[in-house]
């Protein structure tokens, strides 16, 4: 049996491996710093848990394999400049933007995009790292080392943030999970909740947007689309050509989770619409220590990534799924987590149907 190799051995790789186990797929995450020879077979398949990677002994071996799914798409989406160009070319709504170039100035940025402009580094940003606010009132200039390296985006006064996780098979078949409502605090995802009845009117619009993208890229596997909801409109914030944190709830809340769907798609196995079970919510564990008392909570599933705990670092997540909303409400009141968690838990409680 062929092996599915994953470029990257973080938590996403681990959860892909976990999802491959029951369906008999041997998923092997590869640490990009590994210097070992990888026993790649000609019929093996390669996927990635991250959209960009440095050239290392490991990544060179994987990226030269002929069955690396979506290989050409990664650099297109990993660079925010080319990602934005794709969105514009496909006429998909996104925050107004321009590339930050050698002659760009803050004055011009404010003229074009307004008082509040968010610069984002073209590459490597995650969890809100690699962002720089230009606020007209503060008179900040564009630092030299951002020129040619970033895009500038209009600040969007969004009502809320939602994401869509979809999967596309080799034959072009596509399936989508219900829209997920997400709470970011300081640029980092703290909590998600799905499905929500009130987001249903936006579902088909969101699916059409992601379908257009995945189709245009002839993409195979799971892709996530992060959006800002402004009234009835969706603006695409960014795309992730991989399994995504805002789809973690599907592990508890769906018959086929995003990780299994990705494994199925890239290995050419059948896809089917996932049955969504009850109400789900997800809480990211960011910079907090493992606490097995959490396991006392009904409806909870713990995922601990076994990473060293550092401030601001994602070290695990909690999934909750129940058909009984009082079970979910009660779990939220019993979670004892430091600031800013009270805000995130309150947000979840308010959004529970």
**Least Cβ distance, residue 275 to ligand ATP (angstroms):** 27
**Radius of gyration of the chain from Cα atoms?**
20
Residue 225 to residue 165: CA distance in whole angstroms: 6
Residue 161 binds which of Mg ion, ligand ATP, none (CB < 5-8 A, kind-dependent): ligand ATP
Interface segment toward Mg ion; rule CB under 5 A; list 130-138, 163-171, 237-245, 327-335: 237-245
CB 222 within 8 A of CB 6: no
- Side-chain-side CA neighbours of residue 117 (13 Å): 30
Residues 238-257 that bind Mg ion (CB under 5 A): 238
- Provide, rounded to whole angstroms, the least separation between the CB of residue 234 and ligand ATP: 14
Please name the residue ranges forming H helices in the chain.
11-20, 57-63, 73-78, 80-89, 106-113, 200-216, 250-253, 258-267, 325-334, 341-351
Closer CB to ligand ATP, residue 226 or residue 301?
226
Say how many residues touch Mg ion, by CB under 5 A.
Answer: 2
Name the residue nearer to Mg ion (CB basis): 79 or 329: 79
Q: How far apart are CA 5 and CA 44, in angstroms?
A: 7
- Quote the CA–CA distance of 190 and 314 in Å, as a whole number: 9
127 is in the binding site of which of Mg ion, ligand ATP, none (Cβ under 5 to 8 A by kind)?
Answer: ligand ATP
Minimum CB separation from Mg ion for residue 294, in Å?
A: 26
Structural contact between residues 129 and 187, judged by C-beta atoms closer than 8 angstroms: yes
Distance, CA of 338 to CA of 46 (rounded, Å): 39
- Among the candidate windows 152-160, 200-208, 233-241, 299-307, which touches Mg ion by CB under 5 A? 233-241
192-231 footprint of Mg ion as x/- string (CB under 5 A): ----------------------------------x-----
DSSP 206: H
Contact 183, 191 (CB under 8 A): yes
CA dist list (Å): 52 to 27, 75, 291, 295, 353: 20, 7, 33, 35, 38
Q: Which is nearer to ligand ATP, 40 or 156 (CB)?
A: 156
Write down the least CB distance from residue 57 to ligand ATP, Å: 27
Please state the three-class secondary structure of 102-166 as a single string: CCCCHHHHHHHHCCEEEEEECCCCCCCCCEEEEEHHHCCCCCHHHCCCEEEEECCCCCEEEEEEE
Q: Identify which of residues 158 and 329 has a Cβ nearer to ligand ATP in the complex.
A: 158
State which residue, 125 or 287, has the beta carbon closest to ligand ATP: 125
Q: Other C-beta atoms within 10 Å of 185: how many? A: 16
Question: Residue 96 binds which entry of ligand ATP, Mg ion, none, with Cβ cut-offs from 5 to 8 Å by kind?
Answer: none
Binding site partner of 264, from ligand ATP, Mg ion, none, Cβ cut-off 5-8 A by kind: none
Phi, psi torsion values for 74, nearest 5 degrees: -55, -55
Residue closer to Mg ion, measured from CB, 49 or 238: 238
- Nearest to ligand ATP of 193, 328 (CB atom): 193
Q: Which is closer to Mg ion, CB of 50 or CB of 168?
A: 50
Closest approach, Cβ 5 to ligand ATP, in A, equals: 23
Based on CB atoms, which residue is closest to ligand ATP, 242 or 264?
242
Segment interacting with Mg ion, rule: CB under 5 A, options 163-171, 227-235, 236-244, 270-278 = 236-244
Which residues would be at the binding site for ligand ATP (CB under 6 A)? 95, 118, 120, 125-129, 153, 155-156, 161, 184, 187, 226, 237-238
Residue 156 interacting entry, from Mg ion, ligand ATP, none, C-beta within 5 to 8 Å by type: ligand ATP
- From the CB of 333, what's the least distance to ligand ATP, in Å? 26
DSSP string, 265-294: HHHT----PPPBPSEEEEEEEES----GGG
Residues that bind Mg ion (CB under 5 A): 226, 238
């Amino acid at each position: 049996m062929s092996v599915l190799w994953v470029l990257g051995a973080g938590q996403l790789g681990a959860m892909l491996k976990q999802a491959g186990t029951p369906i008999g797929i041997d998923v092997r995450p590869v640490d990009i710093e590994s210097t070992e020879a990888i026993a790649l077979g000609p019929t093996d398949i390669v996927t990635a848990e991250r959209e960009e990677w440095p050239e290392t002994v490991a990544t060179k071996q994987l990226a030269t394999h002929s069955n690396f799914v979506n290989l050409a798409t990664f650099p297109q989406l990993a660079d925010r400049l080319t990602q934005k160009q794709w969105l514009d070319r496909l006429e998909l709504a996104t925050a107004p933007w321009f590339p930050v170039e050698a002659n760009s100035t803050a004055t011009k940025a404010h003229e074009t995009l307004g008082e509040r402009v968010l610069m984002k580094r073209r590459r490597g940003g995650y969890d809100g790292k690699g962002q720089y606010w230009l606020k007209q009132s503060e008179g900040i200039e564009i630092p030299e080392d951002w020129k040619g390296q970033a895009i500038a985006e209009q600040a969007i006064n969004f009502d809320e943030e939602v994401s869509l996780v979809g999967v596309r098979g080799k034959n072009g078949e596509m399936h989508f999970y219900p829209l997920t409502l997400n709470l970011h605090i300081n640029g980092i995802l703290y909590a998600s909740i799905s499905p929500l009845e009130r987001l249903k009117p936006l579902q088909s619009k969101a699916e059409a947007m992601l379908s257009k993208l995945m189709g245009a890229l002839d993409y195979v596997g799971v892709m996530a689309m992060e959006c800002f909801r402004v009234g009835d409109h969706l603006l695409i914030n960014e795309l992730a050509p991989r399994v995504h944190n805002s789809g973690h709830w599907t592990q508890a809340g769906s018959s086929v989770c995003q990780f299994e769907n990705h494994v199925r798609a890239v290995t050419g196995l059948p896809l089917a619409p996932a049955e969504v079970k009850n109400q789900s919510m997800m809480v990211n564990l960011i910079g907090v220590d493992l606490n097995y008392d959490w396991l006392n909570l009904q409806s909870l599933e713990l995922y601990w990534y076994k990473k060293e705990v550092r401030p601001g670092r994602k070290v695990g997540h909690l999934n909750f799924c129940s058909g009984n909303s009082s079970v979910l409400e009660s779990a939220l009141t019993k979670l004892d987590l430091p600031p800013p968690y009270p805000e995130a838990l309150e947000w979840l409680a308010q959004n529970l149907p």
